[in-house]
């Protein structure tokens, strides 16, 4: 049982970090579907930097890469007012693709001094609490939520809608970058093409499960981590096909969502802000 | 400097912007090719090579078929406000339905129609679950349909590794080959199963008419653009949503039938069945901006990008990720140009 | 005269430029990656190209099964004379392509159907798995050995069975706990499956997945492991005991040489099947090239005892003796020699008989000692 809880936290951590990143942007009204690509490229940047100058530099490189990619999405999704969904999916493809092309020479190399997972797990937990405070206890949080709910009103009150959204994407990207760094510096620890293996999409889904609240994202990510571990822990112990256990985490997420009832997304989510309309 | 809406962009402006953005994308790609020691001109030629011969066109067409079917359905669902991300899973369910008819029902001239019917029905049923959860409990379909993709994946693995595993497959994860009656005809010696292609074209046309020429379509559009107004008008939002969702699931199911009955001729490991068409079709639908007819354009466009990327990786022995880079850059260019052409750049505040 | 020389130079130039090079093209099922199946094939391709100056190669990675035929079309158009298809799933595409292009030579890895211009080949690990099983049985203190497995197909089942037979030969009460991850490549699943097995007391690991994740995870908790497909010693120098290493180049070089010499043509491959093992040097037991057992674990294995033919011998000596025997031109030992019962008690290989190639290639039963779900298990 104890191991199960440990796994829930340690495997839940990258999902939590990426979820927090997506959540931050979504509270500001911007959907970032590029998570998978951002994580992939950040994981590579973190690994490359760690090989060159230690894990500290690696973490910085991961976070930095994620933030830059978040800002890059902002260029399209905020400044140009392009379709956020397509821009995000394009970024996901681009990030995955670029990491695969650039990373070839880092494949098959073990990282000499990996990061301890536990430290990052604590950091992720702290970041979730911090994000909660940011959202509900600071002026920026107020601006962010108002921009996500009613950008026209926020604009009338003198809040820079584009500015707030850019910042949210930038910071959110940084969190996704940290998730990528966790994978290549602590969880594996080495780098291979495609190592994010779909976690980015799970993270996006968890934002909805968490009803756009950082503290619930913690629960959601850990729940998913727990179920993911249990599929292997329970496999073979009862005469149920292994495929049924493998499907269990996803089935239970659906159930939890159905039972937790209606959640409300930020009203302006996914809609580019046009001042004239 | 800021952007303002431009309600009536001139054709010259639109054309110019698309040229500019596509040029930028090509320039960036050229950099990637140079870094790989490949002449950019040769790479561009390869990228467009699928358009130059029958073999390449067949490859484009083969990818267009599922993108067209699913994309048409999704463009409707998105328009109505049902964000179905689970077309991949619905496609797999369609494949399961097709396999059931092909393998376990007596073969005859009715086999293929029955496969399409059951496959489509299972696809619709699969998304129907998500639609019902949305209408009944308010559960977000983005999440439920995404999770259902995984469920469908493991369902197929279970079937091909367990009860449906073939007698003549040497223990590998396949069902037996479908009988002759359950195989779709193809064009020449290509893999283009044309009946499914016709279904796709028909679906796009039909949905376009349905959406813009019928009372049902009118109700759908109102619901999608302004749910509050729809309520005010007394429209049954839940039922309208459900029908749109079922249509998109049905079409995704048909795409699954086409893949197994036209190409694989058996049910197999799920990752091999669809190649992510359910996700790529989301792009086809979004690029079509809620007009099913436009999917007739966007689906082949994505088909060209995918086939061109494949030609690149094959002829230049480049890593397969080059396909993703090509697709990502072109998509960004397309929507960047699209977005900017709707706006005017104002230099002073 | 001048014209003669000009022509001669031109001819020479053509000969050198286009060469009499043989063009061999490879279709890979996955990305080349860093450790797995496709990586090993690509290593084989590179080594063949380095060894054979008259060889030119091309490859394309991540080709889905259904796309084999279109890829073959393109390869043939670009002048490929020999096409290697490296996944079972390409079978129908290859056979169709072979009919379409009767002058092109095809070789299909793990394949089971041949044609006048289609040969089949495989470098199989089952002997090596048995040897690793012996070491695993000796090293496990808990008597529980973890196996993280990809998909339930005969190749993987054969390997798990051979491994388990080895484990049980040393420790008749040991269990091999199997966890299926239903993926060839998924580091996250490999990691969590390993964690689950660790939590259940497994202290030695073997696996089928395309990354060193199992090794890295096991090493963190101090558990021993066996590498898969390529040398993985560097990922856990203190914990990788040995492993299975493939040398596809041995097969590729042999095959291509025979094509070049005209021994193999597009007319006579109907019966050409490579099922190459230790004796052909197509596979190797080792933590690294030329390191059959990690020196750090030699003493432990020397101390461990097992009974062979009624006599006590050290596990280490027995492993080395078997390696020598199975590497010789005429091996006397084979892991799948009866009597062997499956875990339900059904006799699968009668006493004194060896499993036939057919039986090896279609193995569905689970050896006694295997614990866990086993999709497709015969009743």
Show residues of chain C in contact with B58, CB under 8 Å: 70
What local confidence, expressed as pLDDT, does residue C15 receive?
43
- The whole-number average pLDDT for the span C323-333 is 96
What's phi and psi for A28, nearest 5 deg?
-90, 5
Which element (helix H / strand E) includes C168? helix C154-170
Domain ranges of chain C: 19-123+248-280, 126-245+285-371
What local confidence, expressed as pLDDT, does residue A203 receive?
95
In the predicted structure, residue B111 carries a pLDDT above the cut 70: yes
Other beta carbons within 10 angstroms of residue C352's beta carbon come to 8
What local confidence, expressed as pLDDT, does residue A256 receive?
87
Between residues B252 and B319, the one the model is more confident about: B252
Residue among A11, A192, A240 whose CB faces C211 most closely: A192
pLDDT band at C14 (very low <50, low <70, confident <90, very high): very low
B335/A83 Cβ within 8 A: yes
- Strand pairing partners for C205? C146, C225
Q: Which two tokens stand for residue A104?
A: 């070839």
Q: What is the value of ipTM here, to two decimals?
A: 0.93
Contact (Cβ atoms closer than 8 angstroms) between residue C86 and residue C29: yes
Number of domains in chain A: 1
Contact (Cβ atoms closer than 8 angstroms) between residue A203 and residue A6: no
In the predicted structure, residue C4 carries a pLDDT above the cut 70: no
In the predicted structure, residue B6 carries a pLDDT above the cut 60: yes
Place of tokens 């802000």: A273
Q: Which two tokens stand for residue C87?
A: 């996944």
Closest residue on chain A to C373 (Cα): A236
As a residue count, chain A comes to 277
- Strand pairing partners for C120? C108, C273
A232/C192 Cβ within 8 A: yes
Residue A219 maps to a domain: no
Average pLDDT, chain C: 92
Residue among A108, A187, A197 whose CB faces C186 most closely: A197
Q: Which of A250, A255, A277 is the best residue to mutate to test the B interface, defined by the most B CB atoms within 10 Å of its own CB?
A: A250
Average pLDDT, chain B: 93
What local confidence, expressed as pLDDT, does residue A108 receive?
85
For the CA atoms of B113, B115, B121, B124, the dihedral, rounded to the nearest 10 degrees, stands at -110
Q: Which two tokens stand for residue B342?
A: 């709707």
- What is the share, in percent, of chain A residues with pLDDT greater than 70? 99
A80/B340 Cβ within 8 A: yes
Q: How far apart are the CA of A27 and the nearest CA of chain B, in angstroms?
A: 16
pLDDT band at A155 (very low <50, low <70, confident <90, very high): very high
Show residues of chain A in contact with C178, CB under 8 Å: 236
Cβ-Cβ contacts under 8 Å for A22 (sequence gap 6 or more): A32, A35, A172, A176, A203, A204, A207
pLDDT band at C17 (very low <50, low <70, confident <90, very high): very low
Other beta carbons within 10 angstroms of residue C350's beta carbon come to 9
B189/C74 Cβ within 8 A: no
Q: Is C153 helix (H, G, I), strand (E, B) or coil?
A: coil
Q: Which of B3, B133, B228, B287 is the best residue to mutate to test the A interface, defined by the most A CB atoms within 10 Å of its own CB?
A: B3
In the predicted structure, residue C338 carries a pLDDT above the cut 90: no
Report, at the CATH architecture level, how domain B65-317 is classified: Orthogonal Bundle (1.10)
Residue among B189, B269, B320 whose CB faces C62 most closely: B320
Range of the domain at A40: 14-195
The whole-angstrom separation of Cα C172 and Cα C165 is 9
Q: CA separation (Å) from C302 to C162, C285, C290, C305, C306?
A: 22, 17, 19, 8, 10
Domain covering C126-245+285-371, topology: Rossmann fold (3.40.50)
Three state DSSP letters for chain A: CHHHHHHHHHHHHHHHHHHHHHHHHHHCCCCCCCHHHHHHHHHHHHHHHHHHHHHHHHHHHHHHHHHHHHHHHHHHHHHCCCCHHHHHHHHHHHHHHHHHHHCHHHECCCCCCCCCHHHHHHHHHHHHHHHHHHHHHCHHHHHHHHHHHCHHHHHHCCCCHHHHHHHHHHHHHHHHHHHHHHHHHHHCCCECCCCCCCHHHHHHHHHHHCCCCHHHHHHHHHHHHHHHHHHHHHCCCCCCCHHHHHHHHHHHHHHHHHHHCCCCCCCCCCCCCCCCC
Domain ranges of chain B: 1-38+320-349, 65-317
Q: Does domain C19-123+248-280 have CATH number 3.40.50.2300?
A: yes
Show residues of chain A in contact with B279, CB under 8 Å: 89
**Lowest-confidence segment of A55-59, A270-274, B27-31, B114-118 by average pLDDT:** A270-274
What local confidence, expressed as pLDDT, does residue C329 receive?
94
Q: Which of A23, A80, A193 is the best residue to mutate to test the B interface, defined by the most B CB atoms within 10 Å of its own CB?
A: A80
What local confidence, expressed as pLDDT, does residue C32 receive?
87
On the 0-12 / 13-18 / 19+ scale of CB atoms within 10 A, C238 is exposed
In the predicted structure, residue C68 carries a pLDDT above the cut 50: yes
What's phi and psi for A139, nearest 5 deg?
-65, -40
In the predicted structure, residue A217 carries a pLDDT above the cut 60: yes
In the predicted structure, residue B204 carries a pLDDT above the cut 70: yes
Residue range C127-166, pLDDT digits in tens: 999 999 999 999 999 999 999 999 999 999 999 999 999 9
On the 0-12 / 13-18 / 19+ scale of CB atoms within 10 A, B125 is middle
- The whole-number average pLDDT for the span C337-353 is 95
**Number of inter-chain CB pairs under 8 A, A vs B:** 150
- Strand pairing partners for C367? C342
What local confidence, expressed as pLDDT, does residue B37 receive?
86
- The whole-number average pLDDT for the span B135-163 is 93
The whole-angstrom separation of Cα A196 and Cα B116 is 35
Q: Which two tokens stand for residue C216?
A: 């890295």
Residue A98 maps to a domain: yes
pLDDT band at B349 (very low <50, low <70, confident <90, very high): low
What is the end-to-end Cα distance of chain B in Å, rounded?
Answer: 6
- CA-wise closest residue to C376 among B167, A231, B95, A247: B167
Cβ-Cβ contacts under 8 Å for B66 (sequence gap 6 or more): B91, B196, B200, B255, B256, B258, B259, B274, B277, B281
The whole-angstrom separation of Cα A45 and Cα A63 is 9
Show residues of chain A in contact with C34, CB under 8 Å: 107-108, 190, 192
pLDDT band at B1 (very low <50, low <70, confident <90, very high): low
The whole-angstrom separation of Cα A223 and Cα A256 is 10
Q: How far apart are the CA of B227 and the nearest CA of chain A, in angstroms?
A: 13
The whole-angstrom separation of Cα C314 and Cα B272 is 47
- The whole-number average pLDDT for the span B20-35 is 92
Place of tokens 């009832």: A261
For residue C115, what is the DSSP state? Answer: B
- The whole-number average pLDDT for the span C251-273 is 96
As a residue count, chain B comes to 349
Put simply, the chain C residues between 204 and 263 with a CB less than 8 A from any chain A CB are 211-213, 216, 230, 234-235
Residue range C274-291, pLDDT digits in tens: 999 999 999 999 999 999
In the predicted structure, residue C3 carries a pLDDT above the cut 60: no
- What is the share, in percent, of chain C residues with pLDDT greater than 70? 95
- The whole-number average pLDDT for the span B227-253 is 93
Residue range A49-108, pLDDT digits in tens: 999 999 999 999 999 999 999 999 999 999 999 989 889 999 999 999 999 999 988 988
In the predicted structure, residue C1 carries a pLDDT above the cut 50: no
- CA-wise closest residue to B196 among B253, B148, B145: B253
What local confidence, expressed as pLDDT, does residue B36 receive?
84
The whole-angstrom separation of Cα B176 and Cα C55 is 39
**Lowest-confidence segment of B44-48, B263-267, C33-37 by average pLDDT:** C33-37
- CA-wise closest residue to C315 among C300, C333, C332, C330: C300
- The whole-number average pLDDT for the span C363-370 is 96
In the predicted structure, residue C199 carries a pLDDT above the cut 50: yes
- The whole-number average pLDDT for the span C65-77 is 91
The whole-angstrom separation of Cα A84 and Cα B322 is 23
On the 0-12 / 13-18 / 19+ scale of CB atoms within 10 A, B186 is middle
On the 0-12 / 13-18 / 19+ scale of CB atoms within 10 A, C354 is middle
Residue A126 maps to a domain: yes
The whole-angstrom separation of Cα C207 and Cα C179 is 9
Please tell me if residue B169 touches chain C, with a CB cutoff of 8 Å: no
Show residues of chain B in contact with A89, CB under 8 Å: 279, 282-283, 331
Put simply, the chain A residues between 186 and 225 with a CB less than 8 A from any chain B CB are 193, 201, 204-205, 208-209
Paired sense of beta strands C22-27 and C82-85, if any = parallel
What local confidence, expressed as pLDDT, does residue A168 receive?
97
Q: How far apart are the CA of A200 and the nearest CA of chain B, in angstroms?
A: 12
Q: Which two tokens stand for residue C74?
A: 């393109």
Show residues of chain A in contact with C156, CB under 8 Å: none
What local confidence, expressed as pLDDT, does residue C317 receive?
96
What's phi and psi for C367, nearest 5 deg?
-65, 155
In the predicted structure, residue C11 carries a pLDDT above the cut 50: no
A233/C213 Cβ within 8 A: no
- Hey, which chains touch A, using 3+ CB pairs under 8 Å? B, C
Three state DSSP letters for chain B: CEEEECCCCCHHHHHHHHHHHHHHHHHHHHHHHHHCCCCHHHHHHHHHHHHCCHHHHHHHHHHHHHHHHHHHHHHHHHHHCCCCCCHHHHHHHHHHHHHHHHHHCCCCCCHHHHHHHHHHHHHHHHHHHHHHHHHHHCCCHHHHHHHHHHHHHHHHHHHHHCCCCCCCCCCCCECCCCCHHHCCCCCCCCCCCHHHHHHHHHHHHHHHHHHHHCHHHHHHHHHHHCHHHHHHCCCCHHHHHHHHHHHHHHHHHHHHHHHHHHHHCCCECHHHHHCCHHHHHHHHHHHCCCCHHHHHHHHHHHHHHHHHHHHHHHHCCCCCCHHHHHHHHHHHHHHHHHHHHCEEEECCC
Q: Is C273 helix (H, G, I), strand (E, B) or coil?
A: strand
Please tell me if residue B132 touches chain A, with a CB cutoff of 8 Å: no
Q: How far apart are the CA of A202 and the nearest CA of chain C, in angstroms?
A: 13
Q: Which two tokens stand for residue B160?
A: 């091909």
What local confidence, expressed as pLDDT, does residue B138 receive?
87
- The whole-number average pLDDT for the span B150-171 is 93
In the predicted structure, residue C9 carries a pLDDT above the cut 50: no
Contact (Cβ atoms closer than 8 angstroms) between residue C206 and residue C163: yes
**Sheet of strand C283-285: strand arrangement:** C283-285, C240-246, C224-229, C204-207, C144-149, C175-180, C370-371
């Amino acid at each position: 049982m104890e191991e199960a809880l440990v796994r829930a936290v340690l495997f839940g951590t990258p999902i939590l970090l990426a979820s927090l990143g997506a959540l931050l942007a979504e509270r500001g009204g911007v959907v970032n579907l590029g998570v998978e690509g951002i994580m992939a490229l950040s994981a590579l940047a973190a690994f490359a930097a760690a090989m060159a100058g230690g894990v500290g530099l690696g973490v910085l490189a991961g976070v930095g890469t994620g933030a830059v990619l978040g800002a890059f999405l902002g260029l399209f999704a905020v400044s140009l007012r392009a379709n956020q969904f397509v821009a995000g999916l394009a970024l996901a493809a681009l990030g995955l693709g670029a990491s695969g092309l650039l990373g070839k020479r880092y494949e098959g190399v073990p990282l000499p001094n990996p990061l301890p997972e536990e430290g990052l797990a604590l950091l992720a937990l702290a970041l979730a609490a911090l994000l909660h405070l940011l959202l509900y206890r600071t002026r920026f949080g107020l601006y962010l939520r108002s921009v996500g709910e009613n950008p026209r009103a926020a604009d009338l009150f003198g809040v820079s809608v584009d500015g707030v959204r850019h910042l949210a994407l930038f910071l959110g990207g940084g969190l996704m970058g940290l998730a990528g760094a966790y994978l290549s510096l602590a969880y594996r620890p080495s780098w291979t093409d495609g190592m994010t293996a779909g976690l980015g999409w799970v993270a996006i889904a968890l934002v909805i499960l968490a009803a756009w609240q950082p503290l619930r994202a913690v629960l959601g990510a850990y729940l998913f981590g727990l179920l993911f571990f249990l599929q292997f822990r329970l496999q073979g112990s009862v005469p149920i096909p292994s495929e049924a256990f493998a499907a269990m985490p996803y089935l239970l997420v659906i159930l939890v969502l159905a039972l937790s009832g209606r959640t409300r997304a930020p009203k302006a989510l996914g809609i580019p802000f046009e001042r004239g309309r | 400097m800021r952007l303002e809406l431009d309600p009536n962009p001139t054709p010259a402006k639109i054309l110019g912007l698309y040229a500019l953005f596509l040029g930028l994308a090509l320039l960036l790609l050229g950099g990637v090719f140079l870094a790989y020691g490949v002449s950019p001109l040769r790479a561009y030629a390869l990228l467009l090579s699928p358009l130059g011969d029958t073999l390449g066109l067949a490859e484009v067409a083969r990818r267009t078929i599922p993108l067209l079917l699913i994309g048409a359905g999704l463009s409707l669902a998105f328009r109505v406000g049902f964000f179905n991300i689970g077309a991949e899973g619905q496609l797999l369910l369609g494949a399961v339905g097709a396999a059931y008819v092909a393998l376990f029902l007596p073969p005859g001239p009715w086999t293929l129609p029955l496969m399409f019917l059951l496959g489509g029905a299972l696809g619709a049923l699969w998304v129907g679950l998500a639609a019902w959860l949305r209408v009944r409990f308010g559960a977000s379909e983005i999440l439920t349909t995404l999770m259902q993709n995984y469920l469908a994946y493991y369902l197929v693995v279970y079937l091909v590794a367990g009860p449906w595993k073939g007698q003549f497959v040497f223990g590998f994860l396949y069902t037996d080959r479908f009988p002759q009656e359950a195989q779709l005809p193809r064009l020449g010696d290509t893999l283009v199963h044309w009946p499914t292609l016709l279904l796709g074209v028909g679906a796009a046309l039909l949905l376009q008419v349905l959406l813009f020429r019928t009372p049902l379509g009118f109700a759908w559009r109102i619901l999608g653009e302004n749910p509050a107004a729809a309520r005010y008008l007394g429209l049954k939002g839940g039922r309208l949503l459900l029908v749109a969702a079922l249509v998109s699931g049905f079409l995704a199911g048909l795409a699954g039938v086409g893949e197994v009955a036209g190409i694989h001729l058996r049910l197999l490991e799920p990752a091999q069945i669809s190649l992510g068409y359910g996700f790529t079709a989301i792009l086809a639908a979004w690029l079509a901006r809620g007009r099913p007819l436009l999917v007739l354009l966007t689906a082949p466009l994505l088909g060209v990008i995918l086939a061109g990327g494949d030609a690149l990786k094959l002829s230049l022995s480049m890593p397969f990720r080059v396909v993703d880079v090509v697709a990502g850059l072109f998509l960004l260019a397309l929507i960047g140009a699209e977005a900017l052409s709707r706006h005017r750049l104002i230099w002073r505040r | 005269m001048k014209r003669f020389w000009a022509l001669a130079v031109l001819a020479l130039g053509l000969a050198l430029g286009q060469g009499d090079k043989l063009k061999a093209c490879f279709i890979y099922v996955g990305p080349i990656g860093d450790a797995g199946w496709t990586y090993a094939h690509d290593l084989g391709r590179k080594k063949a190209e380095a060894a054979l100056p008259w060889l030119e190669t091309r490859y394309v990675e991540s080709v889905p099964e259904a796309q084999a035929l279109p890829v073959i079309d393109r390869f043939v158009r670009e002048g490929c004379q020999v096409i290697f298809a490296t996944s079972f799933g390409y079978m129908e595409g290859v056979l169709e392509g072979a009919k379409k292009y009767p002058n092109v030579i095809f070789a299909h890895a793990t394949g089971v159907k041949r044609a006048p211009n289609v040969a089949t080949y495989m470098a199989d690990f089952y002997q090596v798995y048995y040897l690793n099983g012996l070491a695993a049985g000796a090293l496990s203190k808990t008597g529980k050995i973890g196996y993280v497995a990809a998909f339930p197909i005969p190749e993987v089942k054969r390997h798990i069975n051979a491994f388990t037979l080895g484990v049980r030969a040393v420790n008749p009460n040991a269990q091999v706990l199997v966890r299926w991850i239903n993926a060839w490549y998924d580091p996250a699943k490999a990691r969590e499956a390993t964690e689950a097995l660790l939590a259940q007391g497994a202290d030695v690991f073997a696996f089928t997945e395309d990354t060193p994740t199992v090794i890295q995870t096991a090493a963190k908790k101090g558990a021993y492991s066996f590498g898969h497909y390529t040398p993985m010693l560097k990922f856990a120098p203190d914990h990788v005991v040995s492993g299975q290493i493939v040398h596809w180049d041995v097969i590729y070089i042999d095959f291509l040489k025979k094509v070049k010499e005209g021994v193999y043509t597009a007319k006579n491959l109907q019966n050409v099947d490579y099922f190459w093992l230790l004796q052909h040097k197509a596979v190797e037991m080792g933590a690294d090239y030329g390191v059959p057992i990690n020196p750090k674990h030699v003493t432990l294995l020397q101390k461990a005892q097992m009974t062979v033919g009624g006599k006590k011998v050290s596990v280490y000596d027995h492993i080395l003796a078997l390696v020598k025997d199975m590497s010789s031109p005429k091996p006397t030992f084979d892991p799948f020699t009866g009597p062997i019962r499956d875990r339900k008690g059904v006799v699968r290989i009668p006493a004194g008989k060896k499993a036939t190639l057919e039986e090896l290639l279609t193995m569905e039963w689970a050896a006694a000692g295997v614990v866990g779900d086993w999709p497709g298990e015969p009743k």
